[in-house]
Amino acid sequence: MTRFALRAILSHWSLHPFQLAVLLIGLSLATGLWTSVQVLNAEARASYQRAENQINMAQWDILTSQTDLTLEDFAELRRRGILVSPVLEHELQGGSKPIKLLGIDPLSFPGLEVILGTDHAPSTDPLPFLLPPGQVVLHPETLGDLNLTQELPPYILNASIPPGVVFSDISFVARFSQQENRISYFIMPSYQPLTQNISTKPPSRFKLQKAEKSALGLSRLTESFHLNLTTFGFLSFAVGLFIVQGIVSLTFEQRRRLIRTLRCLGLPLSKLVLFFLAEILTLALISGTAGLLIGYFTALLLLPNVSATLSDLFDTEALTYLHLRREWVLSGLSMACIGALASSAYAFWQLWRMPILLGPSFLARGQQSVKGYGLLLVAGGFCCLGGVLVFQVIGGLMGGFALLTGVMLGTALSLPYLIAKILRCGSLLAQKPIFKWIWADTAAQLPGMSLALMALLLAMATNIGVGTMVSSFRLTFLGWMDQRLSAELYVTARDDAEGDALEDWLHQQRITTLPIRSTEFRFEGQLLKIYGVVDHTTYRSNWPMLSAEDGVWDKLARSEGILINEQLARRMAVGLGDQLLLPETWPKQILGIYSDYGNPDAQAIVSMPSLLALAPGAENRRFGLRLAQQEVPSVMKKIQQAFDLPNRNVVDQASLKARSLHVFDQTFLVTGALSILTLGIAAFAMLTSFLTIWNQRLPQLAPVWAMGIERRQLAFYDILRSLLYAALTTLLALPLGLVLAWVLLHVVNAEAFGWQLPMHLFPLDWLGLGFFALLAALVAAALPAWRLSRIEPSTLLKVFANDR
Amino acid sequence: MIARSLLLICLLQLPADALAQGFAGLGTQAEGFAVPSRDYQFSFPDDHGPHPDFRIEWWYLTANLKDNNGRDYGVQWTLFRSALKPGEAPGWQSPQIWMGHAGLTTMDQHFSAERLARGGTGQAGVTSAPFEAWIDDWHMAGSPDLSHIDLTARGSNFSFLLQAESNKPLVFHGQDGYSVKSAAGQASYYYSQPAYRITGHLDLPDGTVEVQGSGWLDREWSSQPLAEDQEGWDWFSLKFDSGEKLMAFVLRSVDGQTTFALAAGSPKKGVLHPLPLDAFTALPLETSEVTGRSIPTKWKLNLPGQDLEITVIALNNNSWMETSFAYWEGPVRIEGSHSGMGYLEMTGYEK
Strand order in the sheet with A85-92: A155-157, A136-138, A165-169, A99-104, A85-92, A185-188, A61-65, A206-209
| Chain A residue numbers touching B118 (CB-CB < 8 A) | 105, 107, 171
CA closest to A84 among chain B residues: B136
Same domain (yes/no): A277, A396: no
Distance from CA of B145 to the nearest CA of A (A): 24
| CATH code, B2-32+42-346 | 2.40.370.10
| Chain B residue numbers touching A194 (CB-CB < 8 A) | 154-159, 203
More confident of the two residues B154 and B278: B154
Distance from CA of B252 to the nearest CA of A (A): 26
Distance from CA of A213 to the nearest CA of B (A): 26
A358 contact partners, CB below 8 Å, separation of at least 6: none
Residue B94 Cα distances to A123, B52, B89, B118, B119, angstroms: 23, 10, 4, 7, 5
Whether pLDDT at B166 is above 90: yes
Q: Cβ of A194 and B123 within 8 Å?
A: no
Model pLDDT, residue B211: 96
For A708: left if phi > 0, alpha if psi spans -120 to 50, otherwise beta; the answer is: left
Whether pLDDT at B267 is above 60: no
pLDDT digits (tens, 9 = 90+) for A408-466: 888 888 888 888 888 888 888 888 888 888 888 888 888 777 777 887 888 888 788 87
Closest to A379 in 3D by CA, of A406, A404, A349, A419? A406
Given A81, A127, A170, which is nearest B154 (Cβ)?
A: A81
Model pLDDT, residue A305: 65
Q: Cβ of A193 and B324 within 8 Å?
A: no
d(CA A683, CA A633): 52
Same domain (yes/no): A421, A524: no
Mean pLDDT of chain A: 78
| Chain A residue numbers touching B324 (CB-CB < 8 A) | 124
Q: Cβ of B122 and A108 within 8 Å?
A: no
Task: Average the pLDDT over each of A287-296, A501-510, A598-607 and give the range with the smallest value.
Answer: A598-607
CA closest to B97 among chain A residues: A107
d(CA B56, CA A440): 98
- Pairing of the two strands B230-240 and B124-127: unpaired
DSSP state of A430: -
Contact (CB, 8 A) for A563 and A556: yes
Q: How many CA atoms lie within 13 A of A623 on its CB side?
A: 27
Given A80, A174, A196, which is nearest B91 (Cβ)?
A: A174
Q: Which residues of B203-212 are buried (b: 16+ CB within 10 A; e: fewer)?
A: bbeeeebebe
Q: Averaged over B276-282, what is the pLDDT? A: 74
Domain assignment present for A205: yes
Model pLDDT, residue B347: 85
Model pLDDT, residue B151: 95
Could you give the maximum distance between any two Cα atoms of chain B, in Å?
54
Model pLDDT, residue B12: 35
d(CA B314, CA B342): 9
User: For the residues of A771-790, what is the DSSP string, one character each?
Assistant: HHHHHHHHHHHHHHHHHHHT
Same domain (yes/no): A472, A493: no
First and final C-alpha spacing in chain A: 29
d(CA A757, CA A470): 10
Q: Cβ of B137 and A78 within 8 Å?
A: yes
Which amino acid is residue A506, in one-letter code? Answer: L
Model pLDDT, residue B71: 94
Residue A633: cis peptide before it, omega within 30 degrees of 0:
no
Model pLDDT, residue B2: 32
Model pLDDT, residue B94: 92
* pLDDT-derived band at A228, boundaries 50, 70, 90: low
Residue A751 Cα distances to A537, B289, B305, angstroms: 34, 44, 75
Model pLDDT, residue A119: 53
Model pLDDT, residue B92: 92
Is the CA virtual torsion B116, B119, B122, B125 positive or negative?
Answer: positive
Whether pLDDT at B330 is above 90: yes
d(CA A699, CA A703): 7
Model pLDDT, residue B79: 95
Task: Average the pLDDT over each of A116-120, A294-298, A433-437 and give the range with the smallest value.
Answer: A116-120
Contact (CB, 8 A) for B170 and B147: no
Contact (CB, 8 A) for B179 and B190: yes
Q: Averaged over A219-228, what is the pLDDT? A: 58
CA closest to B114 among chain A residues: A193
Whether pLDDT at A92 is above 90: no
User: For the residues of B27-68, what is the DSSP string, one character each?
Assistant: HH--TTS----TT----TTGGGS--TTSSEEEEEEEEEEEET
Distance from CA of B26 to the nearest CA of A (A): 16
Give strand pairing partners of A590: A562
Would you say the ipTM is above 0.90? no
User: For the residues of A586-610, what is the DSSP string, one character each?
Assistant: ---BEEEEE--TT--SEEEEEEHHH
Burial degree of A476 (CB within 10 A; 0-12, 13-18, 19+): buried
More confident of the two residues A288 and A44: A288
CA closest to A78 among chain B residues: B136
Same domain (yes/no): A731, A748: yes
Last residue of a domain, one of A359, A384, A417: A359
Distance from CA of B159 to the nearest CA of A (A): 7
Domain assignment present for A34: yes
Model pLDDT, residue B165: 96
pLDDT digits (tens, 9 = 90+) for A43-88: 766 666 665 555 666 677 788 887 889 999 999 999 988 889 999 9
For residue A215, the SS3 value is: coil
Q: Averaged over A186-213, what is the pLDDT? A: 68
Whether pLDDT at B53 is above 70: yes
Domain assignment present for A638: no
| Chain A residue numbers touching B136 (CB-CB < 8 A) | 78-79, 81, 83
- Pairing of the two strands B96-105 and B110-118: antiparallel
More confident of the two residues B23 and A279: A279
pLDDT digits (tens, 9 = 90+) for A313-343: 444 444 555 666 777 788 888 888 888 887 7
More confident of the two residues B267 and B295: B295
| Chain A residue numbers touching B119 (CB-CB < 8 A) | none
Expressed as residue numbers, the domain containing A410 is: 360-486+655-804
Task: Average the pLDDT over each of A62-71, A153-162, A349-358, A712-721 and give the range with the smallest value.
Answer: A349-358
DSSP state of A649: G
Across the A/B interface, how many CB contacts are shorter than 8 Å?
A: 76
Given B91, B154, B203, which is nearest A181 (Cβ)?
A: B91
Whether pLDDT at A290 is above 50: yes
Pick from B135, B136, B325 the residue to mutate for testing the A interface (most A CBs within 10 Å): B136
**Domain limits of chain B?**
2-32+42-346
Contact (CB, 8 A) for A102 and A89: yes
Domain assignment present for A643: no
Residue A400 CB: number of other CB atoms within 10 A?
Answer: 23
Residue A502 CB: number of other CB atoms within 10 A?
Answer: 23
Q: Which residues of A106-126 are buried (b: 16+ CB within 10 A; e: fewer)?
A: bbbbbbbebbbbeeeeeeebb
Q: Cβ of A193 and B203 within 8 Å?
A: no
The angle subtended at Cα B173 by Cα B170 and Cα B178, nearest 5°, is 115
Give strand pairing partners of A166: A101, A138
A768 contact partners, CB below 8 Å, separation of at least 6: none
DSSP state of A189: -
Distance from CA of A299 to the nearest CA of B (A): 44
Last residue of a domain, one of A333, A359, A385: A359
φ, ψ for residue A528, nearest 5 deg: -120, 125
Q: Cβ of B116 and A175 within 8 Å?
A: no
Is the CA virtual torsion B37, B39, B43, B44 positive or negative?
Answer: positive
Given A78, A127, A194, which is nearest B156 (Cβ)?
A: A194
d(CA B20, CA A375): 77
φ, ψ for residue B239, nearest 5 deg: -120, 115
Model pLDDT, residue B133: 96
d(CA B275, CA B173): 11
Whether pLDDT at B328 is above 80: yes
Model pLDDT, residue A30: 79
Q: Averaged over A299-324, what is the pLDDT? A: 60
d(CA A337, CA A760): 41
Residue A133: cis peptide before it, omega within 30 degrees of 0:
yes
Domain assignment present for A650: no
Distance from CA of A172 to the nearest CA of B (A): 8
Q: Cβ of B136 and A78 within 8 Å?
A: yes
Model pLDDT, residue A310: 55
For residue A254, the SS3 value is: helix
Q: Cβ of B123 and A191 within 8 Å?
A: no
Same domain (yes/no): A446, A565: no
Same domain (yes/no): A347, A432: no
Q: Cβ of B203 and A196 within 8 Å?
A: yes
Model pLDDT, residue A324: 65
Please report, rounded to a whole number, the percentage of residues in chain A having pLDDT higher than 70: 80
Same domain (yes/no): A718, A797: yes
Model pLDDT, residue B144: 92
User: For the residues of A48-101, what is the DSSP string, one character each?
Assistant: HHHHHHS--GGGSEEEEESSPEEHHHHHHHHHTT---EEEEEEEEPSSSS-EEE
Whether pLDDT at A221 is above 80: no
Same domain (yes/no): A236, A123: no
pLDDT digits (tens, 9 = 90+) for A266-278: 888 888 888 888 9
Which H or E run contains A528?
Answer: strand A526-533
Domain assignment present for A136: yes
Could you give the maximum distance between any two Cα atoms of chain A, in Å?
107
Last residue of a domain, one of A209, A237, A272: A209
Domain assignment present for A713: yes
* pLDDT-derived band at A781, boundaries 50, 70, 90: confident
Model pLDDT, residue B142: 94
DSSP state of A526: E
φ, ψ for residue A331, nearest 5 deg: -65, -40
Given A75, A169, A171, which is nearest B123 (Cβ)?
A: A75
Pick from B8, B94, B121, B156 the residue to mutate for testing the A interface (most A CBs within 10 Å): B121
Given A71, A105, A127, which is nearest B122 (Cβ)?
A: A71
Q: Averaged over A622-633, what is the pLDDT? A: 84
Pick from A171, A179, A182, A191 the residue to mutate for testing the B interface (most B CBs within 10 Å): A171
Please tell me which of A586-590, A666-670, B139-143 the model is most confident about, judged by mean pLDDT. Answer: B139-143
Pick from A69, A72, A79 the residue to mutate for testing the B interface (most B CBs within 10 Å): A79
Closest to A531 in 3D by CA, of A572, A565, A569, A573? A565
Task: Tell me, rounded to whole angstroms, the distance of Cα A378 from its chain centroid.
Answer: 33
* Number of domains into which chain A is organized: 4
d(CA A173, CA A186): 15
Contact (CB, 8 A) for A488 and A653: yes
Whether pLDDT at A122 is above 60: no
Model pLDDT, residue B22: 30
